[in-house]
């Protein structure tokens, strides 16, 4: 591992004191092998590791950094807020501003509450759904990830696909007994489940743009059915927009699909790189929460003033800079640059894209609308491809099931750099895994 000596050393130290050396499993490079790069700093579209290497970053902190790294105005807002104290345990003006910005942007949303992660947002939304319906069952879709809460850690996205585990140890069977799993893209399965258990279902939760097991773009009719059938049976529809919210449009997937959910969850982009999640819906539903209602939910650092300042500034900049039109144009430029490279790929490869999210898909057959598992060969090819790209200074997420992101910091020149590195790396991967 030449050129990664300091990362090597840090990783060995980390493995002694942190399980697997990381604080989130997929960072450990287990699928692709090798030593995770320890990052020293980042700016715009670049990451810099502790060994002095620079990478063009298409991971963007798993989609959180839509403006790129260390955006000067976001950094300034964070600094200003921090100088005034980092936490009060009392309400602040920026919480109101961010809640106003989100409710103004998102269809049907009247109230939101802030938490510190996407996982918490989903846990809390589900509690509200159960409280409001006085029912227990939750329906989720295979391949969708909704954070690591117990009752949702079933058939859940890349971390789990990567480790070939259907579920997680430490989750009581009794929790999972209240969860029903359906395949994506299958109207008949949805109808059948509702015919059987419709009166017991509190909510259906879905990533409207499933992006945790590759990018599994759904048909509008399928999402439409979820809206209709939940309504017919007195169940709620929860759109998990932790990735797609403020990423694919100002109003998230609800705007692009024309579907108004009962509850929506947010994270990633709305925190501008700080730990923020949010969940919300109509006032009548959210009023189930304490102190107005009987549904408890709380957080010592919820609505943290530093995090709120980052979020408020990020959303202001997105609107001011017409971000979504720019990101779509950048996404189209990406398709143009990559098309000839993908056409001449030495092994099966497709590009799946929506707005500024894209997935280099190595799954051999079929339109990728349901969670599928890569062949062993494709997994090895991705690993070779990943390392060849890293060698060339391009940082992709370290799993073939993860989605890549563009930020406003990326330029068309960066896309040409990506295309060139990809052309060379595909040849390397084809040679290494014939
Ligand atoms: C990332 C993600 C989560 C979990 O968010 P964390 O902040 O990692 O807890 C939940 N749902 C979706 C769709 C996500 O992509």
pLDDT at residue 149, rounded to an integer: 85
pLDDT at 367: 65
Ligand 1 atom index nearest CA of 240: 13
Mutate to test the pocket of ligand 1, among 25, 114, 118, 354 (most ligand atoms within 8 A of CB): 118
C-alpha 268 – ligand 1 centre gap (Å): 7
Residue with tokens 């991705």: 382
Residue 77 half-sphere exposure, CB side, CA atoms within 13 Å?
A: 23
User: For position 30, what pLDDT does the model report?
Assistant: 94
Task: Work out which ligand 1 atom sits closest to the CA atom of 243.
Answer: 15
Residue 212, ligand 1, Cβ within 6 A: yes
Minimal-distance CA residue to ligand 1 atom 6? 118
Calculate the dihedral angle through the C-alpha atoms of 204, 208, 209, 215, rounding to the nearest 10 degrees. Answer: 30
Nearest atom in ligand 1 to the alpha carbon of residue 62 is 1
Ligand 1 pocket, 417 CB below 6 A? no
Residue 361 phi, psi (nearest 5)? -100, 120
Residue 421 dihedral angles phi and psi, to the nearest 5°: -60, -40
Is 420 assigned a catalytic role?
no
Residue given tokens 């015919």 in the structure block: 195
Q: Are 2 and 34 in contact (CB under 8 A)?
A: no
Task: Report how far ligand 1's centroid is from the alpha carbon of 136 (Å).
Answer: 22
**Residue 118 alpha carbon, nearest atom of ligand 1:** 5
Report the sign of the C-alpha dihedral through residues 404, 409, 411, 414, in that order: negative
Nearest CA to ligand 1 atom 14: 242
Kindly name the residue from 57, 94, 240, 262 that is annotated as catalytic.
240
**Which has the closest alpha carbon to 159: 49, 63, 62?**
62
| Statement: residue 206 has pLDDT above 70 | yes
Torsion 94-89-109-404 (CA) sign: positive
Residue nearest ligand 1's atom 8 by CA = 118
248, 254 Cβ separation under 8 angstroms: no
CA of 119 to the centre of ligand 1 (A): 6
**Do 327 and 320 contact (CB within 8 A), yes or no?**
no
| Residue nearest (by alpha carbon) to ligand 1 atom 11 | 146
**pLDDT the model gives residue 253:** 98
**Residue 116, ligand 1, Cβ within 6 A:** no
pLDDT at 159: 54
**Residue-averaged pLDDT of the chain:** 94
Over residues 378-407, mean pLDDT: 97
Ligand 1 atom closest to residue 241's alpha carbon, by position in its atom list: 13
CATH number given to 72-320 = 3.40.640.10
- Per-residue pLDDT band for 13 (boundaries 50, 70, 90) equals very high
Q: pLDDT (tens digit, 9 = 90+) per residue, 69-118?
A: 999 999 999 999 999 999 999 999 999 999 999 999 999 999 999 999 99
Ligand 1 pocket test target in 243, 271, 302 with most atoms within 8 Å of CB: 243
Domain limits, the chain: 5-70+322-432, 72-320
**Residue 310 CB less than 6 A away from ligand 1:** no
Catalytic residue among 11, 46, 51, 268: 268
Nearest to 211 by CA among 182, 244, 183, 187: 244
Tell me, what's the pLDDT at 434?
Answer: 94
pLDDT for 319-369, tens place per residue? Answer: 999 999 999 999 999 999 999 999 999 999 999 999 999 999 998 876 689
**Pocket lining: 153 vs ligand 1, CB cutoff 6 Å:** no
Spatial contact of 184 and 144, defined as CB atoms under 8 Å apart: yes
Is residue 164 scored above 50 in pLDDT? no
- Which residue, among 62, 1, 70, 64, has the nearest Cα to 27 in the 3D structure? 62
257 has pLDDT over 90 = yes
Residue that wins the pLDDT comparison between 405 and 153 = 405
161 band by pLDDT with thresholds 50, 70 and 90: very low
Q: How far apart are CA 174 and CA 170, in angstroms?
A: 11
pLDDT of residue 195: 97
pLDDT of residue 174: 81
**Between 106 and 2, whose confidence is greater?**
106
123 Cβ closer than 6 Å to some ligand 1 atom: no
CB of 118 within 6 A of ligand 1: the answer is yes
**Residue matched to tokens 């370290």:** 398
Query: CA-CA distance, 277 to 291, in Å (whole number)?
Result: 20
- Does this chain's domain 5-70+322-432 share its CATH topology with 72-320? no
| Identified catalytic residue from 11, 46, 55, 145 | 145
Q: From the CA of 378, how far away is ligand 1's center (Å)?
A: 26
Model confidence pLDDT, tens digit, residues 287-298: 999 999 999 999
pLDDT in tens, 208-218: 999 999 999 99
CB of 239 shorter than 6 A to ligand 1? no
pLDDT at residue 156, rounded to an integer: 63
Residue range 196-210: average pLDDT? Answer: 98
Question: Is 240 noted as a catalytic residue in this protein?
Answer: yes
Give me the CATH code for the 5-70+322-432 domain, please: 3.90.1150.10
């Amino acid at each position: 591992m030449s050129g990664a000596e300091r990362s090597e050393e840090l990783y060995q130290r980390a493995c002694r004191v942190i399980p697997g050396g990381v604080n989130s499993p997929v960072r450990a490079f287990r699928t692709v092998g090798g030593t995770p790069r320890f990052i020293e700093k980042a700016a715009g579209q670049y990451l810099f590791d502790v060994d002095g290497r620079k990478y063009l970053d298409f991971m963007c902190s798993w989609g959180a950094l839509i403006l790129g790294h260390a955006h000067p105005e976001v950094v300034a807002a964070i600094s200003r807020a921090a100088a005034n104290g980092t936490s009060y345990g009392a309400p602040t003006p920026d919480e109101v501003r961010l809640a106003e910005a989100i409710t103004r942007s998102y269809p049907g949303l009247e109230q939101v509450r802030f938490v510190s992660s996407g996982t918490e947002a989903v846990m809390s939304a589900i509690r509200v759904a159960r409280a409001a319906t006085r029912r227990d069952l939750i329906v989720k879709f295979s391949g969708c990830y909704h954070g690591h809460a117990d009752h949702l850690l079933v058939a859940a996205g890349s971390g789990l696909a990567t480790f070939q585990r259907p579920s997680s140890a430490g989750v009581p069977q009794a929790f999972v007994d209240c969860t029903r799993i359906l395949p994506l893209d299958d109207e008949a399965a949805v109808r059948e489940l509702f015919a059987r258990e419709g009166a017991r279902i509190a909510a259906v939760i879905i990533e409207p743009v499933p992006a945790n097991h590759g990018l599994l773009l759904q048909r509008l009719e399928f999402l439409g059915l979820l809206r209709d059938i939940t309504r017919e049976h007195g169940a709620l529809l929860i759109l998990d927009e932790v990735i797609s919210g403020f990423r694919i449009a100002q109003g998230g997937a609800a705007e692009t699909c024309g579907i108004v959910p009962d509850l929506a969850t947010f994270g990633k982009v709305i925190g501008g790189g700080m730990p923020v999640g949010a969940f919300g819906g109509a006032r009548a539903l959210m009023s189930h929460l304490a102190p107005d209602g009987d549904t408890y939910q709380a957080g010592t650092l919820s609505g943290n003033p530093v995090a709120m300042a980052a979020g408020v500034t990020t959303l202001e900049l997105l609107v001011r800079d017409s971000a979504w039109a720019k990101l779509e144009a950048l996404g189209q430029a990406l398709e143009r640059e990559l098309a000839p490279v993908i056409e001449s790929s030495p092994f099966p490869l497709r590009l799946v894209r929506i707005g500024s999210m894209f997935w280099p898909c190595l799954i051999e057959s079929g339109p990728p609308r349901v969670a599928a598992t890569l062949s062993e060969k494709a997994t090895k090819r991705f690993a070779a491809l990943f390392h060849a790209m890293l060698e060339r200074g391009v940082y992709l997420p370290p799993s073939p099931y993860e989605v890549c992101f563009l930020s406003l910091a990326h330029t068309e020149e960066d896309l040409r750099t990506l295309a060139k590195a990809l052309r060379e790396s595909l040849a390397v991967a084809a040679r290494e895994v014939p």
